């Protein structure tokens, strides 16, 4: 993997952008769940993507200019865009056949997955407390999905895929350089989501639609397109404008602060899912869901707490010690030399004649 290019650390801006973006996406969830009984998710994706791309094009041209269409990390933007497309497609297919709060609860494993991937991809050092938090988080997920054999349910699998791909996209954000503006990244996000929706729609059309599928999620994917109600079509178009705002805020969040700082606040999504699920569909979380979510939230807060303690300790260290700490964190585990050699090399660099 290339080195992490974005070292921006603005936690307040990052967390605020994330929480507002998640609220906007919760409104989108409500609309799409209502449509899941009568429309195709691919139709919604294509209409949403068309509006979003057009709006993004206008915004980039007005506020950034031609340079706003140039991205310096195209392969990373493409990877993140594809992961986002898979994540949101899997997520919306899951909410067609599961209570909204249950789907969000499974997706809440994303922050825990980010911690795991930070070890492998970002080579961040994770201590015993964080590992315990990871174990507790996954125990919470098992509590949510295991009763009644739901762990093998198609919708649960889709929710897990959504969590995994979302976590991977969050990690990739840390490799996108700060010179790539959030609005530019959002433009490419919108383009990739539109192209993904068109590609999967063509594939479904070639294979043939099966409107009487045995599972609500599969039916939501394969249902033929319908253009009967102009009000519904207008709402789908409004979802496109909402998606631009949401994508921009999520990109802004993970470009403003480290993933390990921002990700624990993903749990606020659950507040809106429970509220809207209860008010609109009379969905009340089961006791096992409540217990599992409690464990997940505790695990996420534990990860955040350890991150804050680590950053405070680094700020209190003298420059040489802090430099040593940074060097040891960034060194690859596979070829890490003995600690004495690391320290001596850092000291030599620090005290070398300037």
Q: What is the residue extent of each domain of the chain?
A: 11-316
- Residue showing tokens 């690391």: 342
- What is the per-residue pLDDT for 167? 84
Identify the top-confidence range among 80-84, 129-133, 285-289. Answer: 80-84
C-beta separation of 180 from 73 below 8 A:
yes
> Would you say the C-alpha torsion 108, 110, 111, 116 has a positive or negative sign?
positive
Tokens for 226, please give them: 């319908």
pLDDT at residue 337 tops 50: no
pTM to 2 decimals? 0.73
Instruction: Find the range with the poorest average confidence among 30-34, 182-186, 267-271, 320-324.
Output: 320-324
Tens digits of residue pLDDT in 287-308: 877 888 788 777 767 766 666 6
Tens digits of residue pLDDT in 63-77: 888 888 888 778 888
Tokens for 17, please give them: 């952008």
Number of H helices, E strands in the chain: 15, 0
Nearest Cα neighbor of 48 from 238, 246, 250 is 238
- Return the higher-pLDDT residue of 317 and 354: 317
The torsion region of residue 292 among left (phi > 0), alpha (psi -120 to 50) and beta comes to alpha
Nearest Cα neighbor of 285 from 106, 162, 126 is 106
d(CA 141, CA 28) in angstroms, rounded, equals: 24
Radius of gyration of the chain, Cα coordinates, nearest whole angstrom = 22
C-beta separation of 95 from 36 below 8 A:
yes
- What is the per-residue pLDDT for 162? 92
């Amino acid at each position: 993997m290339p080195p992490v290019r974005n070292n921006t650390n603005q936690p307040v801006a990052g967390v605020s952008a994330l929480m507002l973006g998640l609220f906007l996406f919760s409104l989108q969830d409500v609309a799409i769940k209502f449509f899941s009984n009568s429309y195709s998710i691919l139709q919604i994706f294509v209409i949403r993507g068309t509006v979003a791309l057009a709006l993004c094009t206008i915004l980039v041209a007005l506020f950034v200019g031609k340079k706003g269409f140039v991205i310096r990390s195209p392969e990373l933007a493409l990877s993140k865009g594809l992961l986002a497309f898979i994540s949101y497609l899997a997520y919306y297919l899951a909410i067609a056949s599961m209570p909204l709060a249950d789907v969000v609860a499974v997706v809440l494993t994303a922050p825990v997955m980010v911690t795991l991937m930070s070890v492998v991809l970002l080579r961040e050092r994770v201590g015993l407390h964080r590992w315990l938090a990871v174990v507790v988080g996954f125990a919470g997920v098992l509590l949510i999905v295991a009763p009644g054999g739901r762990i093998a349910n198609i919708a649960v699998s889709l929710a897990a895929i959504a969590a995994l791909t979302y976590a991977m996209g969050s990690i990739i954000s840390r490799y996108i350089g700060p010179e790539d503006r959030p609005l530019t990244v959002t433009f490419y996000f919108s383009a990739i989501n539109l192209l993904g929706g068109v590609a999967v729609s063509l594939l479904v059309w070639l294979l043939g639609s099966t409107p009487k599928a045995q599972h609500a999620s599969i039916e939501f994917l394969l249902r033929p397109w319908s253009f009967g109600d102009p009000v519904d079509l207008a709402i789908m178009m409004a979802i496109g404008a909402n998606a631009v705002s949401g994508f921009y805020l999520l990109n802004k969040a993970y470009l403003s602060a480290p993933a390990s700082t921002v990700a624990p606040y993903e749990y606020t999504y659950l507040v809106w899912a429970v509220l809207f699920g209860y008010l609109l569909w009379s969905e009340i979380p089961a006791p096992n869901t409540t217990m599992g979510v409690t464990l997940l939230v505790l695990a996420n807060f534990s990860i955040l707490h350890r991150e804050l303690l680590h950053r405070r300790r680094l700020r209190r260290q003298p420059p040489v010690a802090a430099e040593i700490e940074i060097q040891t964190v960034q060194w690859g585990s596979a070829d890490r030399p003995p600690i004495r050699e690391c320290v001596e090399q850092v000291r030599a660099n620090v005290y070398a004649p300037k």
